[in-house]
Amino acid sequence: MGMPPRPPAPPAPPRSSSHIVAIALLILALIVVVSFIAVWTGLRFLSRTVRVSVEEGGGGKKEVSIKTLVGSLEVRESVDESRLGLPIYPGATRLENEGSATVSLDLPHEENLRVLAVKFESPDPLEKVRDFYKERLGSEVTRFVERTKHGATVFEIKREGQEKVVVLESRHGRTEIQLVRVTHGREETN
Q: How far is CA 44 from CA 41, 50, 92, in A?
A: 5, 10, 50
Q: How far is residue 151 CA from its own chain's centroid? A: 27
**Residue 36 identity:** F
pLDDT of residue 65: 55
3-class state of residue 5 by DSSP: coil
pLDDT of residue 85: 85
Q: Are residues 70 and 45 in contact, defined by beta-carbon separation less than 8 angstroms?
A: no
pLDDT of residue 135: 93
126 Cβ contact list (under 8 Å, min separation 6): 153, 168, 169, 170, 175
What the chain holds in terms of domains, given with CATH numbers, is 71-184 (3.40.1000)
State yes or no: pLDDT of 13 exceeds 60.
no
The continuous run of DSSP H or E covering 108 comes out as none
pLDDT of residue 162: 85
pLDDT, tens digit (0-9, with 9 covering 90-100), for 116-150:
888 889 999 999 999 999 999 988 988 988 888 88
pLDDT, tens digit (0-9, with 9 covering 90-100), for 28-50:
878 887 887 777 776 666 556 55
pLDDT band at 108 (very low <50, low <70, confident <90, very high): low
- 90-117: burial string, b at 16+ Cβ within 10 Å, e else: eebeeeeeeebebebbbeeeeebebbbb
pLDDT of residue 180: 87
Q: How far is CA 185 from CA 18, 62, 71, 173, 189, in A?
A: 62, 25, 14, 39, 10
Q: Are residues 152 and 169 in contact, defined by beta-carbon separation less than 8 angstroms?
A: yes
The counts of H helices and E strands in the chain are 2, 10
pLDDT of residue 148: 85
pLDDT of residue 174: 92
For residues 93 and 80, the model is more confident at: 93
27 Cβ contact list (under 8 Å, min separation 6): none
Q: How far apart are the first and last CA of the chain?
A: 107
* Average pLDDT value for the chain: 76
